[in-house]
Amino acid sequence: MNADLTMDLVARVTNGDRRALARLISLIENGAPDARPALAALHRLGGHAHVIGVTGSPGAGKSTLVTQLARVLRQRCQRVAIIAVDPTSPFTGGAILGDRIRMQDLAGDSNVYIRSMASRGSVGGLASTTRDVARALDAAHFDQIIIETVGAGQAEVEIVRAAQSIVVVTVPGMGDDIQALKAGILEIADVFCVNKADRPGADQAAAELRILLSLDAQRGPNDWRPPIVKTVAMQGSGVAELVDALAEHLAFLRQTGQIVARGERQARSEIQALLYQELMRRVDTRVGPDRLAALIAEVAARGSDPYAATDEILRTIGLP
Ligand SMILES: Nc1nc2c(ncn2[C@@H]2O[C@H](COP(=O)(O)OP(=O)(O)OP(=O)(O)O)[C@@H](O)[C@H]2O)c(=O)[nH]1
Ligand SMILES: [Mg+2]
């Protein structure tokens, strides 16, 4: 695609052309280098949307909740985009199809945009693709961009880091979930949601979370205290409170200036990821897989060492 076409695509996306948006998102998903100039331009135009990450264990009710969130946000005249990311399922996976069906009653609304994505490459690739898709949606004037992802591992954390506000969804009788919470999800949560509050044990789950939060020594007195919201996503109850909590979190980030720090953290990790990608691309083209494999074998056999191998690679790609 030439520069004129790219800029035409940007203009159409910012003017609310849905077909142009779908085309751009396809380009992004296919990893087309063609999309880069458009994304560069869109980045400078964007930065208006509230990006919300929703994560939590499989089957916690995230998709149901996200659908309800979108509904409440629409009632408040917000334009909503949903990106459903599934890092584990193949491209036409059942979960994704299920999400499509669940969310389809929103699909007729021109102020709602829903996109399902699954991994066709690395998790790092998925995280950067998600960020770029969010960038396109932001430039297309969606007020709220909700990213749903399954699980509580490193991969999901990386994906939802593109968000300004992160909702961690748990359910009563978590047990194992508490372990996951300890393993890192606790730090990333801005709002906790105890979904399926129609089941027994919701109050206890909320109390356990409250204790965990109170034990978190890293949060100072002026830091944000993640609220715990109980919801029954299937019936929509508690969802308005969740929307309120998210709006309060955004207001907090703006008032304290922490929104700048979050933006910088994202920019830093994005630049690092791009640098790594670019470096590895050059290693691939200039050093080549055969020489790289030989170097690795030499180091493993102790005929060489990692430092010498790295020096040689850097010299070969033109970095002394
Ligand atoms: N009892 C009860 N069931 C719920 C509630 N919310 C969702 N469910 C059910 O829980 C099941 C899983 O819901 P999903 O929304 O697909 O959960 P999810 O977290 O998106 O699932 P994955 O994306 O597959 O990880 C479905 O059968 C829902 O109908 C709720 O508030 N109460
Ligand atoms: Mg889901």
What is the pairing mode between strands 191-194 and 228-230?
A: parallel
State whether 72 and 199 are in the same domain.
yes
What's the pLDDT score for residue 56? 85
For the CA of 66, the closest atom of ligand 1 is: 15
Instruction: State both tokens at 231.
Output: 């919801």
55, 160 contact by CB (below 8 A) = yes
In Å, how far are 33, 86, 257, 311 from 270, measured between CA atoms?
Answer: 16, 20, 21, 25
Atom of ligand 1 nearest to the CA of 235: 31
In-domain check, residue 265: no
Higher pLDDT, 208 or 307: 307
- Whether residue 307 is contained in a domain is answered as yes
Q: How many CB atoms neighbour CB 224 within 10 A?
A: 15
41 with 91, same domain: the answer is: no
Q: Angle at Cα 11 formed by Cα 10 and Cα 15, nearest 5°?
A: 115
Lowest-confidence segment of 82-91, 129-138, 240-249 by average pLDDT: 82-91
Q: What is the mean pLDDT of residues 229-244?
A: 96
For residue 212, the model assigns a pLDDT of 83
Q: Please say if the pLDDT value at position 159 is more than 80.
A: no
Instruction: Encode pLDDT of 28-76 as tens digits.
Output: 888 878 888 888 999 998 899 999 999 888 888 998 999 999 999 999 9
* Domain identity same for 66 and 175: yes
Q: Is the pLDDT at 95 greater than 60, yes or no?
A: no
Q: CATH number of the domain that 176 lies in?
A: 3.40.50.300
* Domain count of the fold of the chain: 3
* 208 and 293, same domain (yes or no): no
- 102 and 201 in a common domain: yes
For ligand 1, mutation pick of 234, 235, 239 (most atoms within 8 Å of CB): 234
- Report pLDDT for 81: 95
Instruction: Determine the 3-state secondary structure of 117 from DSSP.
Output: strand
CB atoms within 10 A of CB 7: 13
Domain around 88: 47-256
Check whether residue 131 and residue 31 sit in a common domain. Answer: no
**Does 54 lie in the same domain as 41?**
no
Question: Do 195 and 60 share a structural domain?
Answer: yes
Residue 264 lies in a domain: no
Residue 151: pLDDT band with limits 50, 70, 90: low
Mean pLDDT of 191-216: 90
Answer yes or no: do 180 and 110 share one domain.
yes
Instruction: Transcribe 168-192 into DSSP letters.
Output: EEE-SS-THHHHHIIIIIHHH-SEE
Looking at the predicted structure, is the pLDDT value of residue 310 above 90? yes
Q: pTM for the full model?
A: 0.88
Do 134 and 192 have their domain in common? yes
* Count of residues in the chain: 320
